[in-house]
C-alpha cells in the first residue's frame, strides 16, 4: 500500500478546509497508510481535528519560526521542514493543498526531493510507483491527464475537488516529532510589514457561499448591496479584476487565474462578464447564479441560473425577498 503524506496547512490556529479535503481524499485512497505533516509553533492544537478526520499518524516539526506573528516569511522554513519530514516519513506521495503557500514551495520541494511535481490537480489516483491526475491547463480551457512516476510524487490539490468528510480514527493519533530548527540567517528575507487583505470576515477558501462583484458594481452603493447580500447569506465576498481595478474591493478578494480558486456550494456572480481568466477560478462551484444586464454575457455559458437585469434593481429586491422567505420558513 502506497504511503501518503499530507501537508496540513494551519491558518489562525485552524486547519484550512483544502487541507481537510486533501486528508479526506488520501484516506479514501490509502486508508491507514496516510500521515499528516505539520509545521507549527504549537502543533498540539491541531491533533484533535486530525483524529476526527481519521488520521492516525502525524509528523510534526515544531519551531517558533512558524508562529502566526513570525517575522520570517514562511516559504523557506516550510520547505525546509517538509523536506525533513519527508526524509523521516519516506512517503510515496506528498499532497499539499493548493494555494499561494503550495505555489511558493512546490518547486523547491521538487528540486530538493528530486521528485516530480503535479501542481493544482483537480483529481488524482495513486498506482504502484506513481500518480495519475487531471489538471486544468490553458487558463482552464482544457484538462490535461498527467502521469508521474517516482517516490515521492508531489501533488498539490485544488480546493473543492473532493469533500472534506469526518471519519474518526480507529486508534489514537501517534505523534512523530521530527527534529527541526530553522536558522533564520539562512532565510535572507524578513517580513517588513503585513497587511490584512480581505473584506468581510468570511474566508473565501472556507465559504459555503461566495458573492462576487464585477465591474458592473460601479460605486459604493453597489458595494454596499454586495456586502449586504453576503452578510445575509454568511457568504465570503469575492471580486473580479474589473471590480478590483475600480478600487472598490481589496486585491485579496480576486477570484481567477491570478487570484484564488474557489468552489463553494453557491457562487453568485454579480456584474461579472465571465472572462476565461475569471471563470478559471470559479467554474467548479456547485451552483453558479449569474446576474448581468447583458443577456449575451459569456458568464451565462457557465451559470446554473442566469438573471438578465440591472444589479442595482435586482439585489435590493433579492435581499428583501430572501429575508421574507427565511422568516416564513421559521
Partner 1 sequence: MKFIVCIKQVPDVTSLLRVENGRIDTSAGRMALNAFDASAAEGAIAFAERCGGEVHVVLAGPPEAEGALRKALAMGAAAGVRLQVREGDAPPVGQACAQMLADHLRTETFDAILCGKQAQDTDAGVTPAMLAALLGLPFVGNAIALEPDPDGRSDNHLLVTRQADARQEITRIQTPCVVSCSNNMCDPRIPNIRSVMAARKKPIRTKIMETPVGLPALAVQRYEPMPGRPPARMVDEPWDEALDVLAPYVKIPSGSPAP
Ligand X SMILES: Cc1cc2nc3c(=O)[nH]c(=O)nc-3n(C[C@H](O)[C@H](O)[C@H](O)COP(=O)(O)OP(=O)(O)OC[C@H]3O[C@@H](n4cnc5c(N)ncnc54)[C@H](O)[C@@H]3O)c2cc1C
Find, among 147, 24, 167, 155, the residue nearest to 92 by Cα: 155
Q: How far is the CB of 159 from ligand X (least distance, A)?
A: 15
214 binds, among partner 1, ligand X, none (CB under 5 to 8 A by kind): ligand X
Which member of 11, 17, 32, 215 binds partner 1 (CB under 8 A)?
A: 11
CB 105: neighbour CB atoms within 10 A?
25
Residues in binding contact with partner 1, number by CB under 8 A: 101
Which member of 51, 88, 116, 215 binds partner 1 (CB under 8 A)?
A: 116
Q: State how far the Cα of 187 lies from the Cα of 173, in Å rounded to an integer.
A: 32
Q: Which three cell numbers mark 317?
A: 429586491
Using rule CB under 6 A, residue 310 touches ligand X: yes
Using rule CB under 6 A, residue 60 touches ligand X: no
Q: Which three cell numbers mark 235?
A: 457568504
Q: State how far the Cα of 248 lies from the Cα of 89, in Å rounded to an integer.
A: 47
318 binds, among partner 1, ligand X, none (CB under 5 to 8 A by kind): partner 1
Which member of 259, 262, 266, 302 binds ligand X (CB under 6 A)?
A: 259
Sheet strands side by side (includes 153-157): 117-121, 153-157, 93-97, 4-7, 34-40, 57-62, 174-177
Which member of 45, 134, 231, 275 binds ligand X (CB under 6 A)?
A: 275
Using rule CB under 6 A, residue 308 touches ligand X: no
Looking at the Cβ atoms of 93 and 297, the one nearer to ligand X is 297
Helix (H) or strand (E) holding 86: helix 75-89
Find out whether 135 and 147 touch, Cβ atoms under 8 Å.
no
Which member of 44, 67, 163, 321 binds partner 1 (CB under 8 A)?
A: 321
Using rule CB under 6 A, residue 30 touches ligand X: no
For CA atoms 214, 199, 157, 107, give the dihedral sign: positive
Which member of 32, 277, 283, 319 binds ligand X (CB under 6 A)?
A: 277
CA angle at residue 173 from 169 to 176, to 5 degrees? 145
312 binds, among ligand X, partner 1, none (CB under 5 to 8 A by kind): ligand X
Using rule CB under 8 A, residue 208 touches partner 1: yes
Interface residues with ligand X (CB under 6 A) are 214-216, 240-243, 254-259, 271-273, 275, 277-278, 281, 291-294, 297, 310-312
Amino acid at each position: 500500500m502506497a504511503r501518503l503524506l499530507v501537508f496540513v496547512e494551519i491558518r489562525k490556529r485552524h486547519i484550512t478546509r483544502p487541507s481537510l479535503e486533501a486528508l479526506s481524499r488520501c484516506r479514501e485512497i490509502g486508508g491507514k497508510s496516510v500521515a499528516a505533516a505539520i509545521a507549527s509553533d504549537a502543533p498540539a492544537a491541531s491533533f484533535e481535528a486530525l483524529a476526527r478526520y481519521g488520521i492516525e499518524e502525524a509528523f510534526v516539526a515544531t519551531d517558533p519560526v512558524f508562529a502566526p506573528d513570525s517575522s520570517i516569511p514562511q516559504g523557506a522554513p516550510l520547505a525546509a521542514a517538509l523536506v525533513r519530514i519527508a526524509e523521516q516519513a519516506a512517503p510515496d506521495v506528498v499532497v499539499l493543498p493548493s494555494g499561494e503557500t503550495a505555489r511558493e514551495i512546490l518547486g523547491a520541494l521538487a528540486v530538493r526531493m528530486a521528485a516530480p511535481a503535479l501542481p493544482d490537480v483537480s483529481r488524482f489516483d495513486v498506482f504502484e510507483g506513481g500518480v495519475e491526475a487531471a489538471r486544468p491547463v490553458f487558463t482552464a480551457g482544457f484538462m490535461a491527464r498527467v502521469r508521474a512516476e517516482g517516490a515521492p510524487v508531489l501533488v498539490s490539490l485544488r480546493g473543492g475537488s473532493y469533500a472534506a468528510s469526518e471519519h474518526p480514527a480507529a486508534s489514537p493519533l501517534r505523534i512523530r516529532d521530527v527534529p527541526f530548527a530553522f536558522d533564520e540567517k539562512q532565510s535572507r528575507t524578513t517580513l517588513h510589514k503585513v497587511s490584512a487583505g480581505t473584506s468581510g470576515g468570511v474566508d473565501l477558501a472556507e465559504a459555503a457561499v461566495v458573492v462576487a462583484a464585477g465591474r458592473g458594481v460601479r460605486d459604493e452603493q453597489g458595494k454596499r448591496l454586495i456586502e449586504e447580500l453576503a452578510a445575509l447569506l454568511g457568504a465570503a465576498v469575492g471580486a473580479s479584476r474589473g471590480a478590483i481595478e475600480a478600487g472598490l474591493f481589496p486585491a485579496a478578494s480576486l477570484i481567477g487565474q491570478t487570484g484564488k480558486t474557489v468552489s463553494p456550494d453557491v457562487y453568485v456572480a454579480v456584474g461579472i462578464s465571465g472572462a476565461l481568466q475569471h471563470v478559471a477560478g470559479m467554474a467548479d462551484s456547485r451552483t453558479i447564479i449569474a446576474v448581468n444586464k447583458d443577456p449575451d454575457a459569456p458568464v451565462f455559458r457557465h451559470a446554473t441560473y442566469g438573471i438578465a437585469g440591472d444589479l442595482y434593481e435586482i439585489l435590493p429586491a433579492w435581499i428583501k425577498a430572501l429575508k421574507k422567505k427565511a422568516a416564513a420558513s421559521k
